[in-house]
Amino acid sequence: MKSQAHARQHALPAAARQTVAARRHRPVVRLRYLLLLASLAFAAYDYLHIQLPQLTQLSSQSRQLERQVAALKQQQAELQARIRQLQDDAFIARYASEHFNLVLPGQVAFTVSQQPVSGSAR
């Protein structure tokens, strides 16, 4: 049988032999395209359902951390200013006088009342 099929193939013109050979290779080409399509579909699924949500979450976390860093830098600047104030003797004396009613030696402490005096001139 093989020899008859082989003999028939040789009996066919060259164009017909190429057509027969192309038909044999078509399933392989179709399989390649199918595998390529499956690979592209998997890549699209992976990107849209796995990578993109992770990227979105990480971007959100990054923005949140940047805001925290900015807030902490602001707080650090305020604390540095407070440290400079607390190292100034004039500020310490004024703070002690205002908040604790303390005075330096030789000073007289007094309190001003803000209640209106009855019968005062308008």
Task: Quote the pLDDT of residue 105.
Answer: 87
- Tell me, what amino acid is at 27? P
**Length of the chain in terms of residues written:** 122
Question: Helix, strand, coil shares of the chain as percentages rounded to 5?
Answer: 80, 0, 20
pTM of the model: 0.49
Supply φ then ψ for residue 74, to 5 degrees. Answer: -60, -45
Non-local CB neighbours of 52 within 8 Å, separated by 6+ positions: none
- Domain locations along the chain: 9-100
- Confidence (pLDDT) at 88: 95
> Tens of pLDDT along 80-115?
999 999 999 999 999 988 888 888 888 887 777 787
pLDDT at site 78? 97
